[in-house]
Structure 1
Amino acid sequence: MELEGKTALVTGGGQGIGRGIVDCFLQEGAQVAVVQRKPLDPDLQAHPSVLAIQADLVDTGVHSSVVNQAVDRFGGLNVLVNNAGTMIERGVSDILPEEWDMMMALNLRTPLFLAQAVLPFMRQAGGGSIINIGSIEGLAANPEHAAYAASKAGIHGTTKALAVDLGPDNIRCNAIAPGWITSELSENYLQSQSDPAAARNALHRLHPAGRLGEPRDVGELAVFLASHRSAFLTGEVITLDGGRTAKLPLPF
């Protein structure tokens, strides 16, 4: 198994993309501390290789405690996955300062200071892997997503900066920029359209891969980035979108 003997801390790992990452990590033999505000599902919480930690990661004061709990339970830390995030849709004319601050705090500030908190333990282990979850909206933007797109572009830049600064410690940092990944939220959005079937077909046509992404698609890539197989890969933002951003739009 690719991650046998490794310990990972995954933020927002109880649902969506985070759950896909956690499930793949567990399948590959990792021990996983899952941090989020809400309780985990009973099946995940009962897993013998999972430590559930409830915390509001917007509060930088909890970061050291969260990391220490993971280390106390598992004896070390090899992988950090910064997945927790939030999005508020608001046009440029209407966005509020507190909404901007919330997205920047969770999407951009938290990953940096969690990386700071794990550093002593990754150095002690002789190295590690930090994986940030960015977005194709760090490369382009949807309407009313100015703050979200800014936060994701920021995490892409932070990824490169961490790779440069932490390379001497044998700590790698890469980002995954997912496109459309199926979730309860995305399914509800499609069902809210006047013709859900037509909306789904149009969405599929945007993707050369012929389908939408699944949380497990992100999880499989995260396993690679966490494992020794990506030992020479650092400072990269990997777009995972089924070819959506590679395809030029046509006017018909």
Structure 2
Amino acid sequence: MAGRVYVITGASGVLGSAVARAVAEAGSPVALIDFAQDPPAEPAGPDVFFQGGVDLTDANSASAAIDAVADRFGGLDVLLNIAGGFSWQTHENSLVETWHRLFLMNVQTASNASRAAIPHLRRSAAGRIVNVGANAALKASMGMGAYAASKAGVHSLTQALSEELKADGITVNAVLPSIIDTPTNRADMPKADASAWVTPTELAAVMLFLASPQASAVTGALIPVTGRV
């Protein structure tokens, strides 16, 4: 990993912060992009570049943020699309705005960031895009219609991009977590067995393998990372 330039969207969230720590600990330059204005508490240092207040649902904003990373580090090798959102609503009571918002947060952010990154990734010896889908999108349960549909869009985007970029040596894959062990999920499901959930650190490890040169034979894969759920 050392020396490869990583871009992480949604970097101020629980998963984004865990991935950022893992990248920084490995000695790689890392760019952190988030809609939030405040950077995560860690990592910090000269090889950490934070851009806050970036609306990745806007193609121009995404392009400017990605280009700024390439200017700062002289290029980029890996894009980790973690930015996204969740909402639980039964379909009967769901709002049109919820469907639109989740599509923008989950699909459009990944699409815009990827489009902006592709020209830079073509110049890498081992360009990588890793998206975050959802195991719930394989078989949606009650109240998960809008969320699952948006994450299914991420899955399809992943597979389409993998075909488009094969000839360029760029791999595109997605991890499909079940329930991630976060403070929010613990608060929302206080009676659940959190020990069966996937930790951010475990999910980060799978993502960083897919981002590595060693994963060159894997592209277009939708990889469940479901713990013991």
Q: Are 1:235 and 2:227 an aligned pair?
A: no
> Which of 2, 5, 10 matches 1:4?
2
* SS in structure 2 of the partner of residue 200 of structure 1: coil
CA-based RMSD: 1.5
- Counterparts of 1:47-58 in structure 2 under 5 Å? 47-54=45-52, 55-58=54-57
- Counterparts of 1:5-44 in structure 2 under 5 Å? 5-38=3-36, 39-44=38-43
- Counterparts of 1:1-252 in structure 2 under 5 Å? 3-38=1-36, 39-44=38-43, 46-54=44-52, 55-191=54-190, 199-201=191-193, 211-244=196-229
Question: Offset at 1:43?
Answer: 3.6
In the alignment, the residues of structure 1 paired with residue 64 and residue 15 of structure 2 have an alpha-carbon distance, to the nearest angstrom, of 24
User: 1:180-226 deviations in whole A, cap 9, x for unaligned?
Assistant: 111111121133xxxxxxx234x65xxxxxx3211000111111111
User: 1:37-84 deviations in whole A, cap 9, x for unaligned?
Assistant: 11113443x333211111121222201101011111111110001111
In the alignment, the residues of structure 2 paired with residue 102 and residue 146 of structure 1 have an alpha-carbon distance, to the nearest angstrom, of 13
In the alignment, the residues of structure 2 paired with residue 160 and residue 43 of structure 1 have an alpha-carbon distance, to the nearest angstrom, of 32
In the alignment, the residues of structure 2 paired with residue 242 and residue 135 of structure 1 have an alpha-carbon distance, to the nearest angstrom, of 13
In the alignment, the residues of structure 2 paired with residue 213 and residue 137 of structure 1 have an alpha-carbon distance, to the nearest angstrom, of 14
In the alignment, the residues of structure 2 paired with residue 112 and residue 42 of structure 1 have an alpha-carbon distance, to the nearest angstrom, of 27
In the alignment, the residues of structure 1 paired with residue 223 and residue 206 of structure 2 have an alpha-carbon distance, to the nearest angstrom, of 9
Ranked by relative contact order (alpha carbons within 8 Å, sequence separation 6 or more), the top structure is: 1
In the alignment, the residues of structure 2 paired with residue 75 and residue 241 of structure 1 have an alpha-carbon distance, to the nearest angstrom, of 36
Where structure 1 has 5 or more consecutive residues not aligned to the other structure, the ranges are 192-198, 205-210, 245-252
In the alignment, the residues of structure 2 paired with residue 88 and residue 200 of structure 1 have an alpha-carbon distance, to the nearest angstrom, of 19
- Equivalent AA in structure 1 for residue 225 of structure 2: L
In the alignment, the residues of structure 1 paired with residue 136 and residue 78 of structure 2 have an alpha-carbon distance, to the nearest angstrom, of 25
Contact 2:198 2:227 in 1 (8 A): yes
In the alignment, the residues of structure 2 paired with residue 222 and residue 94 of structure 1 have an alpha-carbon distance, to the nearest angstrom, of 35
Contact 1:134 1:155 in 2 (8 A): yes
* SS in structure 2 of the partner of residue 125 of structure 1: coil
In the alignment, the residues of structure 2 paired with residue 15 and residue 64 of structure 1 have an alpha-carbon distance, to the nearest angstrom, of 21
Contact 1:163 1:171 in 2 (8 A): yes
Contact 1:33 1:52 in 2 (8 A): yes
Answer with 1 or 2: which has the greater Rg.
1
Contact 1:7 1:74 in 2 (8 A): yes
TM-score, length basis structure 2: 0.93
Contact 2:56 2:108 in 1 (8 A): no
* CA gap 1:159/1:43 in 2 versus in 1, 3 angstroms: closer
Where structure 2 has 5 or more consecutive residues not aligned to the other structure, the ranges are none
In the alignment, the residues of structure 1 paired with residue 59 and residue 131 of structure 2 have an alpha-carbon distance, to the nearest angstrom, of 17
